[in-house]
Amino acid sequence: MGTLGRAIYVVGSWIRGAGQAVDRAGCALQGSHLFEEKVSRHRTLMNLFDKDPVVDKDAFVAPGASVIGDVQVGRGSSIWYGCVLRGDVNSISVGSGTNIQDNALVHVAKSNISGNVMPTTIGNNVTVGHGAVLHGCTVEDEAFVGMGATLLDGAYVEKNAMVAAGALVRQNTRIPFGEVWGGNPAKFMRKLTEEEIAFISQSATNYSNLAMVHAAENAKGFEEIELEKSLRKKFARKDEEYDSMIGVVRETPEELTLPDNILPEKAQKSPA
């Protein structure tokens, strides 16, 4: 660093000091109404004494989610934004390839009261929709729990069964293989068709692909984010139609291309 650079650096730190002084003066003027912002103290994975969550390295846990206590998350699973998995009084296990979508809540019943031990078990390739509440229940492989559904204690969702959106499944209800239950309280609605069963497993794979993209994005450091911001600005484009009209072919930098499997036209072709 040259002498000039050093001088500018020193002047810069003076001005910053002055800025901070102005900030403090402003804070003093605001007085008791001041709210000072603090570094986020939110813990994504949190242990309670000896119960610590075990999350596979290929799983995606959104930074805004909270995974607390005795929780096991398997390979390729995804816990989306704002989810809460609270295994404080009993254990929660989430299989592989499962997705638990935004703002869902998974909790467990109090352990060992009247001999009833109710851990929450979620199998492999399960899709749990947005805002679902799973409380001390068991969900088998490749089941589908729709948006905003509520599963109370001891509910049991068998393989390939489906809980429709907004359903409330009462205590100790068993939803048999390949059936759709909906309403409040949940009742049998109809059988699932073959296509729908295929769709459930497809949706789980789609989601695990999508989770990978989100995981990569959320894990980025500050420098990477800034670099991509500048790249995005540089390669900003009008819509495809506009480009074809004026005959421009634009290239997308490597950092900004998403993997193929999340784009709809690519993923639909892929085998289920």
Partner 1 sequence: MTSLARLTRKTLTATNYHHLLRRTFATESAAAKTTTASPPITPSPDRVKWDYRGQRQIIPLGQWLPKIAVDAYVAPNVVLAGQVNVLDGSSVWNGAVLRGDLNKITLGFCSNIQEKSVVHAAWSSPTGLPAETMIERFVTVGAYCLLRSCTIEPECIIGQHSILMEGSLVETHSILEAGSVLPPGRRIPTGELWAGNPARFVRKLTHEETLEIPKLAVAINDLSKEYFNEYLPYSTIYLEVEKMMKSHGISI
Per CB under 8 A, which region of 3-11, 110-118, 179-187, 239-247 contacts partner 1?
Answer: 179-187
Rounded to an integer, what distance in angstroms lies between the CA atom of residue 94 and that of residue 106?
10
**In contact, 48 and 68? CB cutoff 8 Å:** yes
Least separation, in Å, of the C-beta of 219 and partner 1? 8
Give the count of alpha carbons within 13 A of 26, CB side only. Answer: 8
Q: Which of 48, 82, 110, 196 binds partner 1 (CB under 8 A)?
A: 82
Which residue in the set 69, 87, 95, 136 belongs to the binding site for partner 1 (CB under 8 A)? 95
- 44 binds partner 1, rule: CB under 8 A: yes
Residues 104-123 that bind partner 1 (CB under 8 A): none
Q: HEC states along 226-238?
A: HHHHHHHHHCCCC
Question: Does 20 help bind partner 1 (rule: CB under 8 A)?
Answer: yes
CB of 113 to partner 1, least distance (A): 26
**One residue of 21, 22, 219, 272 binding partner 1 per CB under 8 A:** 219
Query: Rg of the chain's alpha carbons, rounded to an integer?
Result: 25
Nearest-approach distance from CB 108 to partner 1, in angstroms: 18
Toward partner 1, which CB reaches closer, 36 or 50?
36
Query: Residue from 40, 239, 241, 246 that binds partner 1 (CB under 8 A)?
Result: 40
Judged by CB under 8 A, the stretch of 7-15, 95-103, 111-119, 238-246 that binds partner 1 is: 95-103
Q: Specify the residue, 48 or 267, whose C-beta has the smaller distance to partner 1.
A: 267
Q: Is 13 in the site for partner 1 (CB under 8 A)?
A: no
Record the tokens describing residue 259, joined without a space: 């993997």
User: Is 73 among the residues that bind partner 1 (CB under 8 A)?
Assistant: yes
The interface region with partner 1, picked from 4-12, 84-92, 107-115, 260-268 by CB under 8 A, is 260-268
Q: Does 148 bind partner 1 (CB under 8 A)?
A: yes
Residue 146 dihedral angles phi and psi, to the nearest 5°: -70, 175
Considering CB under 8 A, how many residues would be counted as binding partner 1?
73
Residue 175 exposure: Cα atoms within 13 Å on the Cβ side: 39
Residue bearing tokens 């009993």: 90
Does 199 engage in binding with partner 1 (CB under 8 A)?
Answer: no
> Which string of x and - marks every residue 225-244 that binds partner 1 (by CB under 8 A)?
---xx--x--x-x-------
CA distance 38 to 28: 17
Structure token digits, residue 94: 């989430």
| The dihedral formed by the CA atoms of 132, 136, 142 and 147, expressed in degrees to the nearest 10 | -10
Terminal-residue alpha carbon distance, the chain:
59
Q: Is residue 129 packed enough to be buried (19+ CB in 10 Å), middle (13-18) or exposed (0-12)?
A: buried
SS3 138: strand
